Structure 1
């Protein structure tokens, strides 16, 4: 099951006088990731590289930022994938220490710095939600609310018009069963609505 992390986590790794400052944080899209990377470049003007990897649906990326191709961004992205994360950005700011690490050393350094940061991360399961909307007579509002509460659904908007219009979200894999229970509990007097 895919997960994200609750808050940014950091780790600093020093190898042969090179400093690797890693951060892994929640991130929804590439534009947000690029803004964070630009901020890091401004914050660390003396850094040799600001490498990053983003796992965010179709907006994923792996950037080596001048390191030999495939030695930074891709290994960082592999760590995120291996831990089944989604919606996260890993950045590593590298201050060069004067000693070349070689391709294998760079891969290990970038991989280890991200993996070590993730050891302290609080991971949260990503549960796909489905939003449903229905209308019921006023007399059945309490019945619907009780069913929603019992199933762990999240109540959204409730509008009192000619009938009670209720919108709610529920884990996608439980939506059909809940809809069936609501139909049964309301004895066919519940009408499903298209969401606006």
Structure 2
């Protein structure tokens, strides 16, 4: 099951006099990735190479290194670690010794791998969207049952009769939550898939 990072992670190493700093962090959108790369890139460095992945979307950049020697190995490291919603930036200061294309790929991919291996991670739970309605008095208990099912409240709208909720719940928790909400309300609260 894919996981994302809990927070920013950093890994540093020197390979044949070239300095590499690898930074990895959690993201939720392409805009987050662009902001991370802009915020952490060093304009004084020789190269700022990066890759990010969010579900089926991904991008990578070699930033002047020979094609396929930086961005792709970084992306391969993200996929090898089964990470998602992650951006990795590898900053390189050239040390005067050529690494060759194989050496570059190993340096960029290896740094990304080591950084992601030591990073704190959390599993990404796949959730489906549902709606339900409850009374004001039931709202606290509905939210408690939802939290126990590792669900999320996406939106709530207060009406004259109670509260309309839009929620997200993992598939393995739906049946139990559906039963708990029915028991709580004598069958009145029903989860409806969106």
Q: How high is the TM-score relative to the length of structure 2?
A: 0.82
Q: How does 1:14-53 map to 2 (within 5 A)?
A: 14-41=14-41, 44-53=42-51
Out of 116, 128, 135, which is 1:118 matched to? 116
Once residues 45 and 143 of structure 1 are traced to their aligned partners in structure 2, the CA distance between those partners, rounded to angstroms, is 53
- Once the two structures are superposed, the pairs formed by residues 71-90 of structure 1 within 5 Å of their partners are 71-90=69-88
CA distance in 1, matches of 2:172, 2:62: 39
CA distance in 2, matches of 1:192, 1:83: 35
Corresponding residue of 1:4: 4
- Tell me the CA shift for residue 68 of structure 1: 1.1
CA RMSD of aligned residues (A): 2.9
Q: Per the alignment, do residues 140 and 50 of structure 1 end up closer, same or farther by CA in structure 2, a change over 3 Å counting?
A: closer
Structure number with larger C-alpha Rg: 1
> What CA deviation, in whole Å up to 9, does each residue of 1:26-56 have, x standing for no partner?
1222233223333344xx2331111001011
Which one of 130, 146, 168 corresponds to residue 132 of structure 1? 130
Contact 2:178 2:190 in 1 (8 A): no
**Runs of 5+ consecutive residues of structure 2 not aligned to the other structure:** none
What's the CA shift for 1:139?
7.3
- Between the aligned partners of 2:11 and 2:127, the Cα distance in structure 1 is 33
| Aligned residue pairs, count | 193
SS in 2 for 1:24: strand
Whether 2:54 is the aligned partner of 1:62: answer no
Give 1:162's aligned residue.
Answer: 161
